[in-house]
Amino acid sequence: MGASGSNPPSAETAKAVRPSGKKPFYRSLWGQVLVAVAVAVVFGYLKPHSAVAMKPLGDAFIRLISMIITLVIFCTVVTGIASMQDMKKVGRVGGKALLYFEVVSTLALLIGLVVGNVMHTGAAFNVNPATLDSKAVAGYADAAKSASVTDFIMHIIPTTVVDAFAKGDILQVVLVSILFGFAMSAMGSRCKPLLEVIESLTRAVFGVINIVMRFAPIGAFGAMAFTIGAYGIASLGPLVKLVATFWITCILFVLIVMGGIAWAASFNIIKFLLYIKEEIILTLATSSSEPALPTLMEKLEQLGCSKALVGLVVPTGYTFNTDGSSLYMTLAALFVAEATGIHLTLGQQLVLFGVAVLTSKGASGVQGAAFIALVATLRVIPTIPVAGMALILGIDRFMSMFRATVNMLGNGVATLVVARWEHELDPALLRRNLSSPEAWRKQVVIAAEVPGAPE
């Protein structure tokens, strides 16, 4: 796809997205996933022991997506950069994206801190830290010790090229892909045969994704059934105020903060949410943003963002642009302090905030990253018992549903904003595509099938 939002996609891309009219609710992916989630909630409530046994279904689906993500990123970034004429644009896009990530995620940390001070979600607990099971969070505490900024920076560089793909580390794959893209671009026409091979591989990879996504309802059912069966709605009882506060904060952050950013970038946040409704439902159901990454990238390209920009901003944002995790960290930190009877001064809260700015990035890419980052943050304030994290460990799955979803949404919005800064997207065309994506796809197919149509 070209850099300009006004240019139609290539014929091959167009033919890959053939419309068949508006599908009935039960035949659409988002409808099937939504039904699967609803059935899973009922099943988990009525048959909790059987529901817990459904966990492998969700895990298997996430692994199916994870196994292909690194190839998606590599192919997208390499072909995008290698096709670019202006190499300065790559550095400019990366710089703008990182600046955006830092500003918005820091704002999210600040909002979480303010909400925690206003709502006092842990004030009624008065828990004695000595009675808590510190062993429950011991593993997270050990992981937090190595979550320093220096370790994080060194972690970006893989031991070998193959190691980056073998581990499935997104940021390492992005680094390798950028280097390959720059090298192929510098070699010019000599690398054209290799570029054509990678472009063909890209089409094959997205073909695999289309096959895997057919199992999304089964994966969503397994993940949600396990969550309800293992933890149960009743487990939210004592902590319902914390969970409800976090959920509402996430929703308002999306509608007000991201909505304001979207308005400044000339598009409507509600229409964007409807445009990626499949990815939202899937992320909520699996409590993971990874399954949504390939299709999110594809949809952003369909809106007019260049392949190189999408390939740079979205994968990098999965590490640096963790808005949902940032909201969670400061809000949960204040909850633990209040629940264990610790009063934090303004100075201590500012220290907590400053440390969270760093630890929210330092633990990225690790299993349970947000929880580990929070443990690492609490270690800086010795008066707050890390064992207090055991209070929210049992309901963390319910928190992670919204954490992951806000993280994913933040990366989608960030990509559109950076694309607007780069003048890749025409505002009127973007709004039109968001309002009627099916009509856009029909225009693409017509353009692809007319002889001599521009690519």
Average model confidence (pLDDT) across the chain: 80
At 191 the pLDDT is: 80
CB 152 within 8 A of CB 361: yes
Residue 363 has pLDDT above 70, yes or no: no
**pLDDT tier at 5 (50, 70, 90 boundaries)?**
very low
425: tokens are 């997207």
pLDDT over 70, % of the chain? 81
Mean pLDDT along residues 59-87? 81
Q: Which of 82-86, 121-125, 305-309, 345-349 has the highest mean pLDDT?
A: 345-349
At 140 the pLDDT is: 55
Does pTM top 0.85 for this prediction?
Answer: no
Domains identified in the chain and CATH numbers: 17-449 (1.10.3860.10)
**pLDDT tier at 246 (50, 70, 90 boundaries)?**
very high
Longest dimension (CA), the chain: 76
At 22 the pLDDT is: 63
What is the three-state SS of 97-160? Answer: HHHHHHHHHHHHHHHHHHHHHHHCCCCCCCCCHHHCCHHHHHHHHHHHHCCCHHHHHHHHCCCC
Mean pLDDT along residues 88-95? 81
CB contact set of 249 (below 8 Å; sequence gap of 6+): 111, 112, 115, 327, 331
Mean pLDDT along residues 393-418? 89
Mean pLDDT along residues 170-187? 84
Whole-angstrom Cα distance, residue 302 to residue 310? 11
Residue 81 has pLDDT above 70, yes or no: yes
At 20 the pLDDT is: 45
pLDDT digit string, tens, across residues 114-170: 999 999 888 877 777 666 555 556 555 555 555 555 666 777 788 888 888 888 777
CB 272 within 8 A of CB 411: no
At 116 the pLDDT is: 92
CB 1 within 8 A of CB 17: no
Residue 453 has pLDDT above 90, yes or no: no
At 448 the pLDDT is: 39
DSSP element (H, E) containing 234: none
pLDDT greater at residue 455 or residue 425: 425
